[in-house]
């Protein structure tokens, strides 16, 4: 007769101060990220760059800015814009879920897509929400969505402060 004896071990997700592991911020610190990408929906078809500083307030809250510049000119779609080319500058905030995931949202205030210019007009200001994910140590992938522009995608670098 053969007898077999085995022992198995598994790392357990620990909790810090009774906080579930997904909300644990034990490795998180202040960092900034710089990303570039696109907003592919026509007629906007824009290149996009963004910058954020995360975890400044209460190790969770940060600030974000993004600029989008249209690649095409369309007089029918953008009659108010200079040279009929889409342009917007979003300002907003970030909120970290853990060291690898954060949510962000922003609104345009000052351009032709902004709150002050579109006040009283049928179209509203440019707004966007999204999620930032750290798939690997020094990289960040950001996925966003806006009712008017549709999906946006950026990827870039995460720099600890």
Residue 15 has pLDDT above 70, yes or no: no
Which DSSP category does 98 fall into?
S
Distance of CA 20 to the CA centre of its chain: 24
pLDDT band at 122 (very low <50, low <70, confident <90, very high): low
Q: Looking at residue 8, what is its pLDDT? A: 58
Residue 69 has pLDDT above 90, yes or no: no
Q: Domain locations in the chain?
A: 29-160
Q: Looking at residue 44, what is its pLDDT? A: 79
pLDDT band at 47 (very low <50, low <70, confident <90, very high): very high
Residue 126's CB is within 10 A of a number of other CB atoms, namely: 26
> Strand, helix or coil at 33?
strand
Could you name the CATH architecture of 29-160?
Answer: Beta Barrel (2.40)
| Nearest one of 122, 105, 111 to 86, comparing CA atoms | 111
**Percent of the chain residues past pLDDT 70, beyond the cut:** 73
């Amino acid at each position: 007769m053969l007898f077999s004896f085995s022992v198995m071990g598994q790392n357990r997700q620990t909790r810090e101060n009774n906080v579930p592991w997904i909300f644990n911020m034990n490795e998180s610190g202040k960092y900034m990220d710089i990303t570039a990408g696109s907003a592919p929906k026509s007629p906007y078809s824009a290149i996009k760059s963004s910058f954020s500083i995360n975890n400044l307030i209460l190790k969770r809250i940060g600030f974000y800015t993004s600029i989008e510049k249209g690649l095409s000119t369309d007089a029918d779609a953008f009659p108010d814009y200079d040279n009929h080319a889409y342009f917007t500058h979003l300002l907003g905030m970030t909120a970290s879920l853990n060291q690898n995931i954060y949510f962000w949202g922003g609104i345009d205030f000052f351009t032709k897509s902004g709150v002050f210019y579109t006040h009283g007009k049928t179209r509203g200001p440019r707004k966007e929400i999204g999620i930032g994910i750290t798939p690997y140590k020094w990289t960040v992938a950001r996925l966003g969505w806006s009712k008017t522009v549709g999906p946006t995608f950026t990827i870039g670098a995460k720099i600890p402060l």
